[in-house]
């Protein structure tokens, strides 16, 4: 007679899943708002379309955290990756002029470690609150023999809204417009497969060892949270001061800025206008990575680029303070020319 | 002197990613509708809130395909899992009365195999069209040293809309209401960790071997696509004939039906009212799985359960035809009692 099998024998613990799910209830409640009409346990999350918009347009984006997660696994610190995810998604819809309404996450693990699940989702919920965005729901999947023990993948989806007449689509951009850069907080969530190879293999650092030139460990430097630009840029968006915005993610400045420029326009970026942060310099040195490749993979210190009319540049720089600087201009042609710098 | 590193050396091929992304453009275009305001390459997907609703409520759900993906890897067939994903998500918002507006996917791979990516996303796009839902965007992530060669994870996210006054939230359900079951097409997307253990380890079947009692291979039986109930149920929803709906996913009938019943009400399900499909019987036998465990893990042939007033039962059964049958009733109390059957 064969031994009788249960789901748990096969590696899926429904009771642990129920407990993990229930523990997320308070996180969802704390990250809800007056338009949230559902709680934990609903098949779908309910969110009332905010009133007061003549032609509301929903703006939505999906993203993951990439292999930055591997750094979280190495350090055992799981409360930052959810913030990376939310802030990344919020920036992606902000560039079209949208403010976030709600967020959902997808967390897939090999085994259901309730502590890790609630640390990860706790980070998601905290960032949702910071971005005035409801955490409307999500999926926590147990997939044994799929993810290595202690590992997980994390993806997220944001929905925001913008009045149709206030969509920022770059169509107002003209040659001669000024480009303004906003500082990044570090690697954000791109280039981690290369960065990890350099830091852990080439430089031979452990996650807890001090990163050269930083008063912080390698793990801390790599895990620095992706900035949300919502708070900094919203006042300017409300005034209509911005003609286009590009979030500098995979592909770097040259891979992202053209996505928001009209056909026939390009950009000249003055790479001497800012000091590339230490972390990127050490990565280039440690990996012997050529500069063009560095600018293609990493943000190099620039997390967001705005296009503004010349008459608005001074105002924009004043509002943004020392987070921002003039980084170049829009030119006839196409593509991005990186000039000057090291 | 150290060898110079590139992103590609580290395992990420940006050119292949660009090519894969561009190949998805026609898929997005074909799955767009008159409210889709963005194309490929936008940071966020744009979708106009449909007019004509007094108080539009957005209904949103995130889900994955779970380890059903492992069956796709074994068979090399990648065009069905995207349909599972979309249909699962569509059903999850349908139970609250919503029709889908748009969908975004998250596809994470170890290496960027352009053929597999476009097969997977092609399945997503096809199901979006079938559900009259726009494919608004998504993320395709390259995560080497994260996913085994040839493997990927797939998650998705749907946003639908319902007029607030027509939300189906179960509040109208009364003791004595009739429960109507809709046939599932197979395992749908739940219980695959247990099912794979039984089929491939206990029963010792190869994916291409015939599944006992079916004129189909084990791979074909396991990959049968999760049904969307949108087309079958929408006419009934428009007439207001349904008081509550439960999508039978992880946790089975007893884990899902209580999610839509008011406090103080439970259900009695007559397990003798339908013939449990062959695949579940073979799984129970092959794994020596006890019947209560089977009903907790699998849908057992019931993909959706509706609660309707007794006066509406005949109409509902007539409209649904031989896809549906009376499966029990709402009772005072709580929880789900499964009675009769094998």
Q: Is A45 on the interface with B (CB under 8 A)?
A: yes
Interchain pair B44, A59: CB under 8 A: yes
pLDDT exceeds cutoff 80 at B62: yes
Instruction: Kindly give the confidence (pLDDT) of every residue in chain A, 342 residues in length, as a single tens digit, with 9 standing for 90 and above.
Output: 457 888 888 888 878 777 877 778 888 888 888 889 877 678 889 999 999 999 999 999 999 999 999 999 999 999 999 999 999 999 999 999 999 999 999 999 988 788 999 999 999 999 999 999 999 999 999 888 889 888 999 999 999 999 999 999 999 999 999 999 999 999 999 999 999 999 999 999 999 999 999 999 999 999 999 999 999 999 999 999 999 999 999 999 999 999 999 999 999 999 999 999 999 999 999 999 999 999 999 999 999 999 999 999 999 999 999 999 999 999 999 999 999 875
Show residues of chain B in contact with A194, CB under 8 Å: 5-7, 10, 12
Closest CA relative to residue A230, chosen from A88, A47, A74: A88
Contact B194, A12 (CB under 8 A): yes
Count of beta carbons in the 10 Å neighbourhood of residue B290? 13
* Per-residue pLDDT at B2: 57
Q: What is the Cα B122 distance to its own chain's centre?
A: 16
Q: Is B152 on the interface with A (CB under 8 A)?
A: no
Closest-CA residue of A relative to B7 is: A194
d(CA A32, CA A27): 9
CA distances from B306 to A206, B75, B326 (A): 56, 35, 9
Residue B56 Cα, gap to closest chain A Cα (Å): 6
Residue B22 has which token pair? 């561009």
pLDDT exceeds cutoff 90 at B196: yes
* Per-residue pLDDT at B1: 45
Residue B241 Cα, gap to closest chain A Cα (Å): 20
List the end-to-end C-alpha distance of chain A, in Å, as a whole number.
73
Contact A29, A122 (CB under 8 A): no
The strand ranges marked E within A117-216 are 134-142, 152-163, 178-183
Q: At B74, which helix (H) or strand (E)?
A: helix B68-75
| Residue B18 vs residue A270, higher pLDDT | A270
Return all residues near B317 (Cβ < 8 A) that are at least 6 apart.
B180, B324, B325, B326
Mean residue pLDDT across chain B = 94
What is the residue-wise DSSP string for B139-180?
Answer: EEEE-TTTS-TT-EEEEEEEEEEEEGGG---STT--TT-EEE
Q: Is B222 on the interface with A (CB under 8 A)?
A: no
Residue A227 Cα, gap to closest chain B Cα (Å): 16
Contact B44, B38 (CB under 8 A): yes
| Crossing angle between the packed helical segments A114-130 and A14-23, to the nearest 10 degrees | 30
- The residue count of chain B comes to 342
Q: Is B33 on the interface with A (CB under 8 A)?
A: no
Q: What pairs with residue A276 in β-bridges?
A: none
* Per-residue pLDDT at A1: 45
Contact A190, A66 (CB under 8 A): yes
ipTM: 0.94
Show residues of chain A in contact with B196, CB under 8 Å: 10
Q: Is A12 on the interface with B (CB under 8 A)?
A: yes
d(CA B339, CA B342): 10
Count of beta carbons in the 10 Å neighbourhood of residue B162? 23
Q: What's the pLDDT tens digit per position in B257-298? A: 999 999 999 999 999 999 999 999 999 999 999 999 999 999
Predicted TM-score of the model (pTM): 0.95
Residue A171 has which token pair? 């169509």
The C-alpha torsion from B223 through B224 and B230 to B236, rounded to 10°, is -150
| Selected residue of B44, B49, B284 to mutate for chain A interface (largest A Cβ count, 10 A) | B44
Contact A127, A65 (CB under 8 A): no
Show residues of chain B in contact with A93, CB under 8 Å: 43-44
Contact A298, A252 (CB under 8 A): yes
Return all residues near A100 (Cβ < 8 A) that are at least 6 apart.
A89, A90, A93, A131, A132, A133, A158, A159, A160, A230
Residue B182 Cα, gap to closest chain A Cα (Å): 17
């Amino acid at each position: 007679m064969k031994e009788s099998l249960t789901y748990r024998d096969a590696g899926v613990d429904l009771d642990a899943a129920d407990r993990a799910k229930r523990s997320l209830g308070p996180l969802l409640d704390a990250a809800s708002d007056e338009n949230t009409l559902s709680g934990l346990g609903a098949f779908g999350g309910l969110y009332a379309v905010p009133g007061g918009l003549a032609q509301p347009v929903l703006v939505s984006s999906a993203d993951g955290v990439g292999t930055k997660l591997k750094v979280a696994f190495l350090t055992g610190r799981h409360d930052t990756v959810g913030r990376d995810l939310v802030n990344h998604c919020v920036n992606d819809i902000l560039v079209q002029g949208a403010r976030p309404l709600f967020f959902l996450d997808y967390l897939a693990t090999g085994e259901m470690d309730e502590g890790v699940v609630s640390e990860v989702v706790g980070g998601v919920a905290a960032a949702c609150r910071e971005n005035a965005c409801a955490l409307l729901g999500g999926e926590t999947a147990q997939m044994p023999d799929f993810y290595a023990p202690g590992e997980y993948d994390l993806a997220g989806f944001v929905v925001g809204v913008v009045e149709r007449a206030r969509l920022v689509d770059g169509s107002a951009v003209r040659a001669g417009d000024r480009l303004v850069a906003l500082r990044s907080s570090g690697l954000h969530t791109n280039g981690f497969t290369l960065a990890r190879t350099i830091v852990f293999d080439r430089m031979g650092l452990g996650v807890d060892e001090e990163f050269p030139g930083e008063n912080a460990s390698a793990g801390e430097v790599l895990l620095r949270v992706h900035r949300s630009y919502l708070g900094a840029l919203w006042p300017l968006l409300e005034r209509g001061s911005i003609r286009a915005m590009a979030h500098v993610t995979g592909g770097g400045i040259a891979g992202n800025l053209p996505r928001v420029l009209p056909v026939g326009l390009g950009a000249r970026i003055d790479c001497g206008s800012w000091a590339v942060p230490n972390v990127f310099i050490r990565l280039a040195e440690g990996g012997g990575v050529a500069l063009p490749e560095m600018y293609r993979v990493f943000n190099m210190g620039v997390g967001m680029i705005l296009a503004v009319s010349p008459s608005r540049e001074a105002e924009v720089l004043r509002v943004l303070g020392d987070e921002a600087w003039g980084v170049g201009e829009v030119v006839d042609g196409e593509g991005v020319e990186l000039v000057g710098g090291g």
